[in-house]
Structure 1
Amino acid sequence: MNSTMSASMLPLGNITTNSSLCTVEPQHVSITVFLLLVFLVGFFLNSFSLWVFCCRIPQWSSGAVLQFHLAVSDAIITPVAPFMATYFVMGSHWPFGAFLCKLKIALLIIHFYGSILFLTLISIHRYMAVVQFKQGSRMKRKAFVQKLCAGVWLVLLAKGIACFSFLNTSQVGNRTQCLSIHQRDYIDTYFAINFVLLILGFLMPFSVAVTCYVQIARSVSRININTFKGRGIKAKSRKMVAMCLVIFGLCFMPLNVIRTVAVVLKKYFPEQCILLQVETAYYFSWILAGANCCLDPLLYCFGSHNFVKAIHGSLRKFDVKFKEDPATNDQISYNAAIDSPSIVLEHKENIHIQHSNTS
């Protein structure tokens, strides 16, 4: 990129004398294009998902409650996208003032780590429904899940307020920077916040989610029957597990890893102009993280048969008809199993009985 080439050719006059820092470089226009594209698609998908939850599903299960709050956390980032795009178009210059900068940072934190927390809760809920289906759990109770979601929003609000209070704009050369690695006055704050978010906001939830989905995969792998229904349930569960792990690994891991590298370089190796390349990679990781807004609606289709039924019912009003086939029935069977632990038990008992008869 131009920023990399120019960084390698910088004369000493463009480097600050006190710490040999490389100058701020404008980011490539592709970052702006992809950023707007991702958030625009995510806005329409999540707006449609929220409409389905609010207007087309009269009674929510505990799983639907978690999915609704995940959709809200995805939609909350939408107002920030135009400001971020303008920031990049103007050459990494923030013209909107300190308040909107602080609000942008708070909403980004709430969005990214809200999505991670609700995805983790969904993984725990599915673990209890599929693996621990014979045992009672508060995660299967709608009232408890609603209180749990309220608690998550309080934690997210506290994180957002903390970032709103501690972070601000800075003048770097002739540019006003907002949430930039070049804000040397905030590098210690960025360093501390990063590791808190990395450990508590990503690594711990990611470990819990992976553990849950590994157990789900093992449980479903024991369903060994020769019927089409059994194969459909296994295939659907594998797709759901794969989608959740892809969201964690593709969307959120690069953001946390690259940001950690960036703050370490800025704090301990500020004279290295490779920081400019890491900064560009960091902004691309924002795009990957924002892509979870586009992928999460697929989870609602995998995880809630009421959501799928509501979509089908809405499209039928526009004379869009669906051809019935055995795969559709298997999809509904698996989605219903996720929504209802009792149906999981029924499926597993029937599967084991059929397997014994075939033997």
Structure 2
Amino acid sequence: MTSIDRRSLLIAAGAVALSGPARAQGGWNTRAPLPWPVQEIYAAVWNGRIVTAGGLVGRPGGQPLHVEDRVGLYDPAADAWSEGPALPQRRHHPMMIGDDALGLFAVGGYGVSPAGEWTGMREVWRLDGETWVRAASLPEPQGEAVGLAHGGRLHLVGGRSPAGAANGGWTDQADVATHRVLDPSVGGWHEARPAPTARNSAAGAVLNGALWVAGGRTVRGGGTGQLDRYDPGEDRWDTLAPIPRSTAAGQQVGGGLAMLAVGGKLVAFGGEWFAPGGGGVFRETWIYDPATDAWTAGPDMKTPRHGLAAAAVRDTVYAIAGGAVVSGGQAVGTVEALRL
């Protein structure tokens, strides 16, 4: 993919089978929608509820992006949403990380400043009761990253950081392979082994004591299905079987997808691709078995989306909100669930 102006794309209204094992049984079912449409969000499971925060909605005609500070709380048992304490500032792409021992965190992302709507941010907030409080800030801004909790630590992998002194537009940022780790009991962030590839808008999950990062894209190379596994004990990355291409779209599943771990497997879905004059959104679901290092096709989402949040509660996967067309033309609040 050639270099793109992300802001222009965001305000433009956009209009598989595999050989091998059979597709997973069942399909996606519609659940109560998030009360407001939004995309470019992430989710965490915290105290039995799914939490998502911030995000954006593109506006036509060159108007400024609408950036959210609202926090949505979903109760899977009741299939109902409520609103939690708003973020201290509006953010899109804030990484949500939840851990029973550490707490609930909103990390980095982009804010709105006089410099622009894609100002990379360093702030990290932790929810304390009904109030978001400051935690250890990032050494530098980092957005469109993968955030995971494991072993009493937070990990932030890849994404985009300012390429120079400018920090306000999407083109001011550059893809990074940066891997930072925070032990809240000790203090600040420290550097771990960088990811094998600098890329943004990937997805991640924790499985079998390892961190897994899949998909994403680079500005010039487009989507990548690359799957990387990080061993925290050895500070080592290994690259495994990539997510397959979409035969329906003829494109590589990559940027803006979601992924999580359920039942000893990885489940990845959604994402978008860009092409001259447009692009599209993926509806495929892919299921990875670490025992065989192979992906198989699962049921397609009813509503293809990118920039969506994902969470798993017990044996059920949730796909939350996102953009129903490539770029920022149609944010939705749609929620679908897949039981595995």
TM-score by length of 2: 0.27
| Structure richer in strand, relative to its length | 2
| Structure richer in helix, relative to its length | 1
Query: RCO higher in 1 or 2 (8 Å CA, sep ≥ 6)?
Result: 1
TM-score by length of 1: 0.26
